[in-house]
């Protein structure tokens, strides 16, 4: 997906609800099967579906937060008392402290450069996952 974004960086995609629904299905399956990879897939997919990169990042952040809350409730309902909460406060504090820096960073990077950065980071993450899969 990163390569497609990179090679079509100046192309304007027409928004399509069908593309968004298919993206949601693919990302949900990926999240349930692997537990990760939701963010880069959703951001890249939204860009290729006609959503500008800055709103795509915001929408993805909201969707990931809601997905995590629903997953937590599901986990509590089915796993109950086997949850270890010892790391939760540190993760929550780190996440909350990172938000203003993330918002500021996205706001100051121009749209075109942000799109290229998203493409490059998607490629790097994809290569990293492929290498970890091939050579564990």
Q: Where are the domains of the chain?
A: 2-134
pLDDT above 80: residue 123: yes
**Top-ranked range on mean pLDDT: pick from 36-40, 81-85, 130-134:** 130-134
Tens digit of each residue's pLDDT (9 = 90 or more) over 59-105: 988 888 888 888 888 888 887 777 778 888 898 899 889 888 988 99
- Average pLDDT value for residue range 123-129: 90
Banded model confidence at residue 56, pLDDT cuts 50, 70, 90: very high
Let me know: does 44 contact 1? Beta carbons within 8 Å. Answer: yes
Q: Which is it for the CA torsion 121, 127, 128, 129, positive or negative?
A: positive
Asked whether residue 7 carries a pLDDT value surpassing 80, the answer given is: yes
Contacts of 2 (CB under 8 A, 6+ apart): 40, 44, 118, 119, 120, 121, 122, 123, 124, 125, 126
- Helices 17-34 and 38-48 meet at what angle, rounded to 10? 170
Average pLDDT over all residues of the chain? 88
- H or E element: which one contains 77? helix 53-79
Q: Are 83 and 74 in contact (CB under 8 A)?
A: no
């Amino acid at each position: 997906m990163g390569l497609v974004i990179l090679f079509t960086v100046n192309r304007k995609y027409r928004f399509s609800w069908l593309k968004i629904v298919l993206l949601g299905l693919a990302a949900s399956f990926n999240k349930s099967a692997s537990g990760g990879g939701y963010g880069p897939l959703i951001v890249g997919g939204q860009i290729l579906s006609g959503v500008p990169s800055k709103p795509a990042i915001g929408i993805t952040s909201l969707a990931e937060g809601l997905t995590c809350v629903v997953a937590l409730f599901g986990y509590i309902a089915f796993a109950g008392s086997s949850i270890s909460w010892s790391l939760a406060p540190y993760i929550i504090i780190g996440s909350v402290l990172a938000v203003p820096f993330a918002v500021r960073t996205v706001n100051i990077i121009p749209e075109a450069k942000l799109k290229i950065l998203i493409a490059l980071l998607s490629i790097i993450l994809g290569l990293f996952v492929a290498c970890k899969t091939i050579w564990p």
